[in-house]
A and B are shown apart, each in its own frame.
Chain A
Amino acid sequence: MAGNSTGLTDLTIAETRDGLKAKKFSATEIARAHIKAVEQARHLNAFVTETPERALKDAAASDARIARGDMRPMEGVPLAIKDLFCTKGVLTTAGSHILDGFKPPYESTVTAQLWRDGATMLGKVNMDEFAMGSSNTTSYYGPVANPWTRRGDNRKLVPGGSSGGSAASVAARIAMGATGTDTGGSIRQPAAFTGIVGFKPTYGRCSRWGIVAFASSLDQAGPLARSVRDCAIMLRSMAGHDAKDSTSVDAPVPDYEAVLGRGVKGMRVGIPREYRIDGMAPEIEKLWQQGIAWLKDAGAEPVEISLPHTKLALPAYYIIAPAEASSNLARYDGARFGLREKGATLTEMYENTRAAGFGKEVRRRVMIGTYVLSSGYYDAYYIRAQRVRALIARDFTQAFEKVDTILTPTAPSAAFAVDEKTDDPIAMYLNDVFTVTVNLAGLPGISVPAGLSADGLPLGLQLIGKAFDEPTLFRAGEVLEKAAKFTARPAMVAG
């Protein structure tokens, strides 16, 4: 394990804030240490675009603010930005060939708010193409390696996905935090696979404006960081109403950090029996029981609940998400931005561009989406899936009459090697079995690293909350974090 000469890349966001305030180090020193870490960790393939000059410029501005005694909430915090967020003048690929050369003339609302609050941009990070995947293997820019490896086994493992570059960067101490997006588990599952915290807010909590759209009724941005507190700090900057996203909610953003330390005494924690699935690794079940015991020890009351439509969530998702994707991805026509392939006619130009520009998984989902929306099948597939979605949401509404939060494993397994999953797309889709329900119901969820598998890989526990009840998740997440005392580090740590 490489030691860090400065120790600066090991700091949490909260520690950085305190250290900058006390003038123990400068934002420029923080930025330099992380730029070096990014260079050292290139073999992980986490970054699509590095922006070291920008990072130094941001840090210099931060140092000037600190000197004036005018610190902002994210001052000098070096972040990796998922390449799904449009960044003004900086290549934005969505992990796809079809966005070749696309430099947005605008900034996404979420990233604009992070820069407003003083954060430093390290660059844009790799991801599954258009966020479609759970292993970061569908990216046009190649797979990302998980900084963790199994004990006594050097094989490269996936970091999870779709926010694989985000998770790998934070776990390997290349970035202090990262933005992610979560449509079916794309923040929480990679956070679990890399031993960090990932937070998926309630739908509408963060603006989707300027985020490349995948499935608009499911997509939501959120933070990945190395502590619950760091996620609370980041989310406060990322969240908030935006007139440019009609689905963003016009409600005040609470100070999430302020609720930390309040504990879970008297909290009722739902344990859904349907999440005990066939073929789940015994160590996942054991970790889940451990999580229940931790919350109970802290004064919470576990309550067995039922979410009867759980097993229908994945099939409903694989109609709704591809349907929305096929519609959203219609804009990639070779005419206005990105890749263009030649064609004798306009239609041929479209067809050739989209054939060359979309990878296999994206093509598969666009075609499924096109089919379920096509004439004669719309009611049988799409409308029916939306009705099932309503049943899944109703399960949660009924459960939340009895409990304050729900505890589940985040994923049915630890990280796997690329060659361990077959080419069967459905086997890959099952990664999201515990996370996808949350997106369909529009609820918030957090994944907290809670233990190690027998071969030394991180495992996560998930807490699910009521809509806009992020504070409860931060409180309960912190209790799990403290009880788990997760201090294990990946095999690869930069610095």
Chain B
Amino acid sequence: MALDRKTVAHIARLARIKVRDEELDALAVELTGILAWVEQLQKVDVKGVEPMTGAVAMKLKERDDQVTDGGQRDKVLANAPSAQAGFFAVPKVIE
């Protein structure tokens, strides 16, 4: 499956990574190369095989639905590039 410039631009948009127009052709070649290589999986007979979603068959433990942590606002905000009045600050979303 060969990816075109438009598809690469769409993937970049979905991934929220800015890709400049002049980078699209090279990226299309790289990504197409990787997809062509993984294409060999299409030939495998996987009929009746359940997808493996975890590395080890285990039942996840459950715990009581209780708050075990919290009240750490200042610690959480300490790493923020921009914080104001106890909130993360970002560019304006609503006009």
Q: Are B88 and A368 in contact (CB under 8 A)?
A: no
List which A370-387 residues lie within 8 A (CB) of chain B.
Answer: 370-371, 374, 380-381, 383-387
Instruction: Write the chain B residue with the least CB distance to A363.
Output: B17
Given that A338-B81, A366-B17, A425-B30 are contacting pairs, would A349 and B54 also be in contact in the complex, using a CB cutoff of 8 Å? no
Q: How far is the CA of A349 from the CA of B27 in the complex (A)?
A: 22
Contact of B56 among A103, A204, A424 (CB under 8 A): A204
The answer on a CB contact under 8 Å between B91 and A345 is yes
Cα(A354)–Cα(B76), bound, Å: 21
B38 touches A319 (CB 8 A): yes
The yes or no answer to B71 lying at the interface (CB within 8 A) is no
Q: With A315-B41, A343-B91, A351-B16 given, is the CB distance from A387 to B49 under 8 Å?
A: yes
Does B56 lie within 8 Å of A202, measured CB to CB?
yes
8 Å CB contacts to A: which residues of B16-57?
Answer: 16-19, 27, 30-31, 33-35, 37-42, 44, 46, 49-56
Contacts of B38 in A (CB 8 A): 315-316, 318-319, 381, 385
Stretch with Cβ within 8 A of B (4 or more), from A61-69, A107-115, A244-252: A244-252
Candidates B17, B30, B91; contact of A358 at CB < 8 Å: B17
Task: Please tell me if B15 contacts chain A, counting CB pairs below 8 Å.
Answer: yes
In Å, the complex CA distance between A313 and B46 comes to 14
Are the C-beta atoms of A368 and B56 separated by less than 8 Å?
no
Tell me if B58 is interfacial: C-beta within 8 Å of chain A: yes
Query: Which B residues are CB-close (under 8 A) to A165?
Result: none
CB pair B11 A371 closer than 8 Å: yes
The answer for the CA separation of A318 and B49 in the assembled complex, in Å, is 20
Q: Which residues of B contact A351 (CB under 8 A)?
A: 16-18
User: Chain B residues near A334 (CB, 8 Å)?
Assistant: 81
Interface string of A446-481 (1 = CB under 8 A from B): 000000000000000000000100000000000000
**B58 and A247 within 8 A (CB):** yes
- Of A271-279, A296-304, A389-397, the stretch lying at the interface with chain B is A389-397
A105 near B72: Cβ-Cβ < 8 Å? yes
| Contact across chains for B55 and A338 when beta carbons are under 8 A apart | no
From residue A317, how far is it (CB to closest CB) to chain B in Å?
A: 9
We find that the number of chain B residues with CB closer than 8 angstroms to chain A is 48
Contact between A364 and B72, CB atoms less than 8 A apart: no
**Candidates B75, B79, B91; contact of A338 at CB < 8 Å:** B79
Q: Complex: how many Å from CA A442 to CA B53?
A: 11
Q: With A and B bound together, what is the CA distance between A140 and B92 in angstroms?
A: 31
A338 partner residues in chain B, CB cutoff 8 A: 79, 81
Contact between chains at B51 and A371 (CB < 8 Å): no
Name the B residues within 8 Å of A316 (CB-CB). Answer: 38, 41
CB < 8 Å: which of A315, A364, A389 contacts B52? A389
Contact of B41 among A246, A340, A355, A385 (CB under 8 A): A385
B residues in contact with A192, CB < 8 Å: none
Residue of B nearest to A370 (CB): B15
Find the B residue at minimum CB distance from A352. Answer: B18
Q: How many residues belonging to A are interface residues under a CB distance threshold of 8 Å?
A: 72
- In chain A, positions 163-203 with a C-beta closer than 8 Å to chain B are 202-203
Q: Are A442 and B41 in contact (CB under 8 A)?
A: no
Q: B residues within 8 A CB of A249?
A: 56, 58
From A439, which residue of chain B is reached at the shortest CB distance? B55
The residue from A101, A243, A388, A393 contacting B44, defined by CB atoms under 8 A apart: A388
Bound CA span A153–B48, Å? 54
Known contacts: A384-B46, A388-B41, A390-B50. The answer to whether A335 contacts B90 by CB under 8 A is: yes
Q: How far is the CB of B48 from chain A (nearest CB, A)?
A: 9
B15 contacts A383, C-beta separation under 8 Å: no
Of A250, A383, A387, chain B has the most CB atoms within 10 Å of the CB of A387
Which of B52, B61, B63, B75 sits near A393, CB closer than 8 Å? B52
Cα separation A390 to B63 with both chains bound (whole Å)? 29
Interface-centre pick from A104, A247, A439 (highest chain B CB count, 10 A): A247
A246 CB to closest chain B CB, in angstroms?
5
- Binary CB contact string for chain A from 331 to 374 against chain B (1 if under 8 A, 0 otherwise): 00111111110011111111110110010000110111011001
Complex-state Cα separation, A43 to B80, whole angstroms: 33
CB of A105 within 8 A of CB of B75, answer yes
Asked if residues A103 and B49 are in contact (CB atoms below 8 Å), the reply is no
- Pick the contact of A105 from B14, B37, B53, B76 — CB < 8 Å? B76
18 additional A-B residue pairs with CB within 8 Å, beyond A344-B91, A367-B8, A387-B49: A101-B79, A217-B54, A243-B61, A246-B60, A249-B56, A312-B41, A315-B40, A318-B34, A318-B37, A335-B90, A336-B80, A348-B91, A349-B90, A367-B17, A374-B11, A384-B44, A386-B51, A391-B44
Chain A residues within CB distance 8 Å of chain B:
101-105, 202-204, 217-218, 243, 246-247, 249-250, 309, 312, 315-316, 318-319, 326, 330, 333-340, 343-352, 354-355, 358, 363-364, 366-368, 370-371, 374, 380-381, 383-391, 393, 424-426, 439-442, 467
Shortest Cβ-Cβ A-B pairs, 8 listed = A442-B55, A386-B51, A203-B55, A340-B81, A355-B18, A337-B79, A387-B46, A351-B18
Q: Enumerate 15 A-B pairs (CB-CB under 8 Å) in ascending A order.
A: A202-B56, A246-B60, A312-B40, A312-B41, A315-B38, A330-B16, A340-B81, A346-B91, A347-B16, A350-B16, A351-B18, A367-B15, A390-B49, A391-B44, A426-B33
